[in-house]
Structure 1
Amino acid sequence: MSTRLNWNEYATAWARLHGGFDPRLATPVVSGWLRMAYLLGAGLARLRVKPLAVTVFGLLLCLAVPLSVTRPPYGIFLGASLVVLSAVADSVDGAVAVTTGEPTRLGYVYDSLADRLGEAAWLTAFWLLGGAGPLVVAAGVLSWLHEYVRARAAAAGMREIGAVTVGERPTRVCVAAIGLLVAGAGAAIEPELPSGIVTLVTAVWILLAVFGLVQLMAAVRTALR
């Protein structure tokens, strides 16, 4: 496949790999985000950067988040920035693969593994800031369960993407980044505030994950019944 795919050609190829979900029909925010990933991915493809290299770079950004938050308040703000940058990398690695015609099943596995490890790193940062341990673990388990159910449903024959739920990875990115931003602001006011803030944010993460899982299970039941 050519490395000079235009946006429409890219969107068509991307949709084939994502259950037929057409990014051109998405909301302006989602469509804009995917178009940005396409532009960055096309640029990296011309530089012969491999998708796996971008995946590894994004994972390293995630692993740096727990290290950065140990130096409040500016380290917490840095952690929020790293979460956002890792999310960009997570979209761009797929864009590089689609643009170069190199999306592989092994690459999908690597990307999924990096996503789960990255989210574990974000939650570890919450714990280091004083978040309640049981809540942090519950958030991680529910997020993993959401992705596991979708993967098993796809293996069982669900051809469509199913439901775009409130517990998807983009939601988790937003919760983690905004939570760290607010925790950083709290740390600048009072050193003890981040603990309560990240505990509350973790509870929000769990609530969204539960609702998302219910939505997903309903969609899976409809698709596979």
Structure 2
Amino acid sequence: MGRGRGLSWNDYADRWAQLHGGFDPRKAGPLVRGWLRVSYLIGKGLARIGISPGGVTFGGLLLCVAVPLLVHRPALASVFVVLAAMADSVDGATAVVTNRATRLGYLYDSLVDRLGEAAWLIAFYLVGAPAVLVVAAGALSWLHEYVRARVTAAGMRDIGVVTVGERPTRVAMAFVGLLLAGLVDPVQTELPAGTITVVSAVWVLLSLVGLLQLLAASHRALRG
């Protein structure tokens, strides 16, 4: 099974759970479970043709960088957000099915996630979102991930809580914001900026609530 040819979905789910705080993807909601299963199938296919997890991670970074370069066509940029998010999931799947999940790979994957989100927020700013909202969304998203990393280092071994400010929410905000900006652009030239501003404000709100949820769960878990 060096390249994951014989790794079943159940075997993959067991390995994935071990790397994600014991969270079993088979018990996730239909959308998350479906997303992870598609990632597993793609990752298994890439493993068969010799594509490395690092190659998928780098490809995801390139997709993210393309997003602010496509702000003149926001709807197309939103498609690149989805492709980048899929690459972010597939690189981990490829690592699991090839049994090549490493701490260094986890580091690079997390780094690319943060750089990718920064690129999406730059696109928001270029479309017309106020800088203060863009910076706040980025800072709160970064702080959410920083807190989760620190509480893990402090000894919290399980996932604790799935907040409303997690990575999938940020992917959804980037996708929806750019897609709506592209859809309203033909109607009136001022609408994309207003639309992306509203979505940025929602991003900030969800990130703040998610951070508070995470802090509360971390406090309960580490208090003893």
Please say whether Structure 1 and Structure 2 have the same fold, judged by a TM-score greater than 0.5: yes
- Where 1:159 maps in the other structure, the secondary structure is coil
* Aligned residue number for residue 92 of structure 1: 90
Q: Matched residues in 2 for 1:28 and 1:195: separation?
A: 33
Q: Which residue of 1 aligns with 2:193?
A: 195
Please give the alpha-carbon distance, in whole angstroms, between the structure 1 residues aligned to 2:47 and 2:221.
36
SS in structure 2 opposite 1:189?
coil
Separation (CA, whole Å) in 1 of partners of 2:97 and 2:135? 37
Structure 2: where are the runs of 5+ without partners?
Answer: none
Q: Which runs of 5+ in 1 are unaligned?
A: none
1:159 aligns with one of 145, 157, 160: 157
1:27 Cα offset (Å)? 0.5
State the 1:181 CA deviation.
Answer: 0.8
Match of residue 8 from structure 2: 6
Cα offset for 1:188?
Answer: 1.3
Tell me which moved more, 182-191 or 136-145: 182-191
Q: Provide the secondary structure at the position in 1 that maps to 2:91.
A: helix
Match of 1:19 in 2: 21
How far the C-alpha of 1:136 sits from its partner, in A, is 0.3
1:3-39 Cα offsets, whole Å, 9 max, x none, are 1210000000000000000000111111110000000
Scaled by the length of structure 1, the TM-score of the pair is 0.97
* SS of 1:209 mapped into structure 2: helix
What is the CA deviation profile of residues 31-82 of structure 1, one whole-angstrom value per residue up to 9, with x for unaligned ones?
A: 110000000000001111110110010111011000001x2xxx11110000
How many angstroms apart in 2 are the aligned matches of 1:25 and 1:81? 28
Counterparts in 2 of 1:32-43, with a 5 A limit? 32-43=34-45
Q: Distance in 2 between matches of 1:111 and 1:80?
A: 21
Residue of structure 2 equivalent to 1:49: 51
CA RMSD across the alignment: 0.7
Matched residue type, 2:44 = A
Matched letter for residue 117 of structure 2: E
Q: What is residue 29 of structure 1 aligned with on the other side?
A: 31
What code does the residue aligned with 2:190 have?
A: E
Deviations 1:134-190 (A, max 9, x none): 110000000000000000000111100111000000001111101111111111111
User: How much does 1:222 deviate?
Assistant: 1.3
Residue in structure 2 matched with residue 221 of structure 1 by the alignment = 219
Partner Cα distance (1:91, 1:114) in 2:
12
Which residue pairs with 1:145 in the alignment? 143
Distance 1:59 1:101 in 2: 22
- Answering whether residue 177 of structure 2 is matched by residue 175 of structure 1, we say no
1:204, CA displacement in angstroms?
0.2
Residue of structure 1 in register with 2:67 after alignment: 65
Distance 1:187 1:21 in 2: 41
Report the number of matched residues: 221
Shift of 1:219: 1.0
